[in-house]
Amino acid sequence: MREEAVRYLRCPHCSDTMTMTGGTLRCPLGHSFDRAKQGYVNLLRGDVRFSADTAGMVADRAAFLAAGHYAPIAESLAALARGTAPAPVSGDPGCVVDIGGGTGYYHARVVSEFPDREGVLLDISKFATRRAARAHPRISAIVADAWDGLPFGDGAASVVLNVFAPRNPVELRRILRPDGVLLVVTPRPDHLRELVDALGLMRVDEQKDERLAERFAGHFTEVAGERLHHTMALDHQALTQLVGMGPNAWHQDGGRLAERVSLLPDPCDVTLSVTLTAYRPMV
């Protein structure tokens, strides 16, 4: 956790401002949160609604992303951020927030585009935030629940990222500056289509884009977007990591997965298909 990022945070218990002394965050009412030796700070305030990614899931994600298979998403996201983020102004430029940011792979790429801004990543998994805290020199990582009240001040962020992650439109709108931008990445119905039946993966909702638009109605206005379609050549190790790094991991048996993967070509052509959308908060 960087001292420069603390000004954007709020106490998860009382919503007051916080300061950091000797690696501990404190609010005026005495709530305190220690920085872990791995660099992240845990701001969870109660029970969470969903299971956090395990150490194994995070390791699979880190290895898969490091191999560059999802690099087209990161590059497109950075380009969209450059084209839609508010221009620098005098005073505080606002931070770059990543909600459900995992290991910080996408966040690091976008933060590098804005040398004047702090990055703050939120994830429910301590295993993910341990890695995120080292993803970029200007990223601070916190453990928090994306479905709960977000521990940021009103209008703290100039850019918010949401890549394959939960989204609470009311809170996302609250933490964005009026001229800020929310960048959302969602899978399309044909994403990983070659693996759905072969490996027993969950299917993407055919109406996902429409449902997202409905949820954001009254909170955000779409200002830009693109559909990214790419073919990945994945060997059997990458296929196993791909399944193990996301929600499909909760529904798979390791032995059965290995059998299914062994029946696929090596390498196997797999479709990457996502929608990237930029939104402005409604005022």
Q: Give the global pTM.
A: 0.94
- Where do the domains of the chain lie, and which CATH numbers do they carry? 3-281 (3.40.50.150)
Tokens at 127, concatenated:
């295993």
User: Is residue 208 pLDDT above 80, yes or no?
Assistant: no
As a whole number, the mean pLDDT across the chain is 93
148-178 as b/e: b if 16+ CB within 10 A: bbbbbbebbbbbbbbbbbebbbebbbbbbbe
Cα–Cα distance for residue pair 153/168, rounded to 1 Å: 15
The C-alpha atoms of residue 276 and residue 162 are separated, in whole angstroms, by 10
Q: pLDDT, tens digit, for every residue of 9-20?
A: 999 999 999 999
Q: Which residues of 11-43 are buried (b: 16+ CB within 10 A; e: fewer)?
A: bbeeeeebebeeeebbbeeebebebbeebbbeb
Each residue's pLDDT tens digit, 134-188: 999 999 999 999 888 899 999 999 999 999 998 999 999 999 999 999 999 999 9
Residue 50 pLDDT grade (very low, low, confident, very high; cuts 50, 70, 90)? low
| Distance separating alpha carbons of residues 243 and 254, to the nearest angstrom | 10
What are the tokens at 234? 């994945």
pLDDT digits (tens, 9 = 90+) for 85-144: 988 777 899 999 999 999 999 999 999 999 999 999 999 999 999 999 999 999 999 999
254, pLDDT greater than 80: no
d(CA 280, CA 283): 9
Q: Using alpha carbons, select from 240, 96, 107 the residue that is nearest to residue 163.
A: 107
